[in-house]
Amino acid sequence: MRTTWDFTGARALVAGAGGIGAAVTSALAEAGANVLVLDVDEAKMDKVCQGADSVNGLTTDLTSADACRAAVDRSVQLLGGIDVFVHAVGVNDRRPVLETPDEVWERLRAVNLDSAFWLGRAVGAVMVPAGHGRIVFLSSVSGLLAHKDHAPYAATKGGVNQLMRVMAREWAASGVTVNAVAPGYTETDLTRAYLSEPGIRASLETLVPAGRLGRPEDLTGPVLFLASDQAAFVTGQVLYADGGRTLV
Ligand SMILES: NC(=O)c1ccc[n+]([C@@H]2O[C@H](COP(=O)([O-])OP(=O)(O)OC[C@H]3O[C@@H](n4cnc5c(N)ncnc54)[C@H](O)[C@@H]3O)[C@@H](O)[C@H]2O)c1
């Protein structure tokens, strides 16, 4: 796909080296950014950093406030500042509410929502005094629709949407925009096992007007647009990149 964005010299922090985080990292690097990636999974990190001089990684578990603060402090030292922050870490665990134990609720909240607050707050503390910044959270169609067996995941994505809106409002006058991109089902490690269950892929595809599930590359344009200078007057928005899933 032809790159239409210019991020020459931009300092980008991407939390998440998984399917979507890796695609966004490559797109930002191709467009000229220096990218630092955070993830708990060293193997994924190595893969994302391989062969790209402008991409580096910090292996870290983002489920504590201290770890998130330390990761952002270190990122500022390594990059020299942060112009773009993309939050693309996430986990899911599909089961009915009545079969959801405390530890599943707590783990999803910590990875999906708490890290968004902790990292977003630490990044905002750098961007607001600098008078410029772009923050993009990966939300989900689950933040809007009531998918069964998705209670903790849906609650964290609804929470991310509201967290994003309040950050957007508080930081708008400082030149910092905060938005979210909400994918539908996308082919990554997050969905691989579920999609391989009998009949699941076909039944999910019928729910998407575009007739297919998403690919990580489908998210790079929406994320890079919101991270670009061209999106300076767009803030507090959830951009659905879902092949029309939320229309039906
Ligand atoms: N794939 C989809 O269908 C889909 C749909 C809607 C939204 N999303 C969202 O997009 C984002 C990226 O998801 P993806 O599809 O690339 O998934 P993925 O599983 O490929 O990547 C998620 C990454 O998060 C990392 N991670 C998990 N726990 C962590 C922790 N404690 N500390 C640091 N890193 C941790 C994982 O190691 C992994 O690399 C997530 O927020 C996800 O909820 C994905």
Domain spans of the chain, in order of start: 11-240
Indicate which residue of 153, 185, 194, 240 is catalytic.
153
- For 11-240, the fitting CATH number among 3.30.70.920, 3.40.50.740, 3.60.150.10, 3.40.50.720 is 3.40.50.720
Annotated catalytic residue 153:
yes
Overall size of the chain counted in residues:
248
pLDDT tens digit sequence for 135-186: 999 999 999 999 999 999 999 999 999 999 999 999 999 999 999 999 999 9
Euclidean distance between CA atoms 83 and 132, whole angstroms: 7
Q: How far is the CA of 48 from the centre of ligand 1 (A)?
A: 14
User: Among the atoms of ligand 1, which is closest to the Cα of residue 157?
Assistant: 43
Bridge partner residues of 84 (DSSP) = 12, 134
pLDDT at 3: 61
Euclidean distance between CA atoms 178 and 167, whole angstroms: 7
Number of H helices, E strands in the chain: 9, 7
Euclidean distance between CA atoms 152 and 67, whole angstroms: 23
Residuewise pLDDT in 10s, the chain (248 residues): 566 899 999 999 999 999 999 999 999 999 999 999 999 999 999 999 998 999 999 999 999 999 999 999 999 999 999 999 999 999 999 999 999 999 999 999 999 999 999 999 999 999 999 999 999 999 999 999 999 999 999 999 999 999 999 999 999 999 999 999 999 999 999 999 999 999 999 999 999 999 999 999 999 999 999 999 999 999 999 999 999 999 99
Instruction: Identify the sign of the CA torsion 137, 138, 139, 141.
Output: positive
Alpha carbon nearest to ligand 1 atom 38, residue: 18
Instruction: Name all residues whose Cβ lies below 6 A of ligand 1.
Output: 16-21, 39-41, 44, 61-63, 88-91, 111, 138, 140, 183, 185-186, 188-191
Euclidean distance between CA atoms 61 and 15, whole angstroms: 10
Three-state SS string over 168-221 comes to HHHHHHHCEEEEEEEECCECCHHHHHHHCCCCHHHHHHCCCCCCCCECCHHHHH
Answer yes or no: are the C-beta atoms of 141 and 241 closer than 8 Å: no
Interhelix angle 151-171/115-130, rounded to 10 degrees, is 10
Site to substitute for ligand 1 among 14, 188, 213, most atoms within 8 A of C-beta: 188
Alpha carbon nearest to ligand 1 atom 8, residue: 140
